[in-house]
Structure 1
């Protein structure tokens, strides 16, 4: 059994970090929660995203993502489930915004338990078929014949730490008092905007884009 070379590990982690920093559904989930419910709740969303990253990383290195190539319908199921989930989150945010006022906008976030926030982050990344494409490509970069489980675990753990660090930083930034004060002024409109973006991401997944 072979280990992943350290230079390959570093390149893989850097590639993942670049993707994690970029705007997308993961960042939107963390940012909207941080603005609406504060840093503590947003950190649980970040933890959920990091958990999803671990699952994708570990399974891709062990070759599980190739099952989607062997059975294309699995990718369609993932795409439909992911798109529907993002649209569901979006509709909830839009409904909260339509009720008007800071209290209504924040109620949708604060009514969530920590477990629900964690599941929200996990769901956003685990049901994203674009994550499947990324991790399939990553597996081609990182995997060598006869790779051992310890190396797969090391790589997955590294991506998890990177993921949590990135989204915890976003949670901290978007929960700053200055930003939350501005959020309070336009809470209803911002919630509807967040909802529209979630719906857009979901619609793009359903359309296969």
Structure 2
């Protein structure tokens, strides 16, 4: 039977993975800095749902099937890499946008965010963007499988193991939500948002570079066995 120490071990392992800088947390921080807390929280909700999906896949045993399916995993990695490259392109566009256009946009604290020019993004769009980002990252299922394997007793009877797996999965989902909420709240403070506006071009340029590296890295991993 899984005990509190085992649950804590699983939770700590998952927390380290979830809170570490990566495409999801980087995107969540960027949306929060540039568009405000509401957009960041809704974007984080989309990320949470995508992360939860991979948690269910891992807990149900489908994660191992996915890992063994060469072509399906390859397709998911290529799609995920292309999506990261698209995010890099969007960051480049944001960096190149003139300060005049940036200042003429309505306050993101009071209205739905805008992506570029006159194109408006509703809160639903931010949710979908976050959802797609984590759904397009098949590496998340590996992280889930690694975290869930910590503290679970392989010798326990089947009934106990199922309940333990459900408890661990739900706990990790909650941790994922809290991590994304944390990023949205911290990076949407006024001082951080003002700092982002001052260094917008440099920050977006750096983010574009990181997304580009992550995108090409994921695509490359699709063809390396």
TM range, smaller chain:
0.7 to 0.9
Q: TM-score, normalised by structure 2?
A: 0.81
Match of 2:132 among 123, 139, 160: 123
Measure how far apart 1:157 and its partner are: 2.2
Contact 2:57 2:141 in 1 (8 A): no
Aligned length: 207
In 2, Cα distance between the equivalents of 1:98 and 1:72? 39
Measure how far apart 1:164 and its partner are: 1.4
Residue ranges of structure 2 left out of the alignment (5+ in a row): 106-113
In 2, Cα distance between the equivalents of 1:169 and 1:27? 10
Identify the residue that residue 22 of structure 1 maps to in structure 2: 20
Contact 2:148 2:169 in 1 (8 A): no
Measure how far apart 1:143 and its partner are: 7.2
In the alignment, does 2:38 pair up with 1:40?
Answer: yes
Higher helix proportion (structure 1 or 2): 1
More deviation, 87-96/102-111: 102-111
Identify the residue that residue 174 of structure 1 maps to in structure 2: 187
* 1:5-154 correspondence runs (5 A): 5-101=3-99, 103-104=101-102, 107-108=114-115, 111-141=120-150, 142=152, 144=154, 146=158, 150-154=163-167
Measure how far apart 1:181 and its partner are: 1.0
Measure how far apart 1:4 and its partner are: 4.5
More deviation, 186-195/57-66: 186-195
In 2, Cα distance between the equivalents of 1:10 and 1:102? 50
Deviation by residue 1:21-54 (Cα, 9 ceiling, x = unmatched):
1111111111100111001100011112211222
Measure how far apart 1:195 and its partner are: 2.1
Contact 2:95 2:205 in 1 (8 A): yes
Residue ranges of structure 1 left out of the alignment (5+ in a row): none
Measure how far apart 1:5 and its partner are: 4.4
Which secondary structure state, in structure 2, belongs to the residue aligned with residue 108 of structure 1? strand
